[in-house]
Structure 1
Amino acid sequence: MTTITLSNGTLSAEIATLGAELQSLKDSAGREWLWQADPAFWPRHAPVLFPIVGKAAGGKVRVGDKEYPIGQHGFARDSEFEIVEQTPSSVALRLIESTATRQHYPFDFELVMHYALEGTTLHQTATIRNPGGDSLPASFGYHPGFAWPLPDTEAAQTDHIVLFEKDEPAEIRRLGPGGVEAKGRPSPVAGRCLALDPSLFDDDAMIFDRLESRSLWFGVPGKPGLRADFPDMPYLGLWMKPGAPYLCIEPWQGHAAPEGFAGDIGDMPGMMHIAPGASEARHMSVTLEAPE
Structure 2
Amino acid sequence: MDSHRITTAGISAEVSARGAELVSLRDAAGNEMLWQAGPEWPRHAPVLFPTVGRLRDDTLRHDGKSYALGQHGFARDSQFEWSERSPDRVVLRLADSPETRQSFPFPFRLELIYAVADDVLTVTTRVTNPGDGPLPCGVGAHPAFRWPLMTGISKDDHVVAFETQETGSARSVVGGLLGKDKPLPFDGRQLKLSESLFAKDALVMPGVASRQVTFSALDTAGDSAASLTVAWNGFKDLGIWSKPGGAPFICIEPWYGMASDVDWDGEFLEKPGILVLPAGETRDFQWSVRF
Q: CA deviation at 1:178?
A: 7.2
Which residue pairs with 2:21 in the alignment?
21
Contact 1:233/1:283, CA 8 A, preserved across alignment: yes
Residue 163 (structure 1) aligned with residue 166 (structure 2) = no
Name the CA distance, whole Å, in 2 between partners of 1:57 and 1:108.
Answer: 23
Q: CA deviation at 1:108?
A: 1.1
Q: CA deviation at 1:265?
A: 1.1
Which residue pairs with 1:187 in the alignment?
184
Q: CA deviation at 1:224?
A: 3.1
- Give a deviation string over 1:183-239, Cα, whole Å, max 9, x none: 211122223110000010001101011412111000123223000001221111111
Considering fraction of residues, name the structure with more strand: 2
Deviating 4+ runs (over 3 angstroms):
none
Residue 224 (structure 1) aligned with residue 238 (structure 2) = no
RMSD of the alignment, in Å?
A: 1.2
Specify which of 262, 267, 290 is matched with residue 264 of structure 1.
267
Name the CA distance, whole Å, in 1 between partners of 2:153 and 2:215.
Answer: 13
Q: Which amino acid aligns with 1:189?
A: F
Which residue pairs with 2:208 in the alignment?
211
Q: CA deviation at 1:270?
A: 2.3
- Give a deviation string over 1:241-261, Cα, whole Å, max 9, x none: 132000000111000000111
Contact 1:15/1:23, CA 8 A, preserved across alignment: yes
SS, match of residue 184 in structure 1? strand
Which residue pairs with 1:36 in the alignment?
36
| TM-score, with structure 1 as normaliser | 0.95
Question: What percent of counterpart residues are identical?
Answer: 42
Which residue pairs with 1:60 in the alignment?
59
SS, match of residue 15 in structure 2? strand
Residue 286 (structure 1) aligned with residue 283 (structure 2) = no
Name the CA distance, whole Å, in 1 between partners of 2:264 and 2:176.
Answer: 9
**Which consecutive residues of structure 1, in runs of 5 or more, have no partner in the other structure?**
none
**Which consecutive residues of structure 2, in runs of 5 or more, have no partner in the other structure?**
218-222
Contact 2:54/2:176, CA 8 A, preserved across alignment: no
| TM-score, with structure 2 as normaliser | 0.95
- Give a deviation string over 1:69-116, Cα, whole Å, max 9, x none: 001000000000000112101100000011110110011110000000
Name the CA distance, whole Å, in 1 between partners of 2:188 and 2:203.
Answer: 17
Contact 2:53/2:176, CA 8 A, preserved across alignment: no
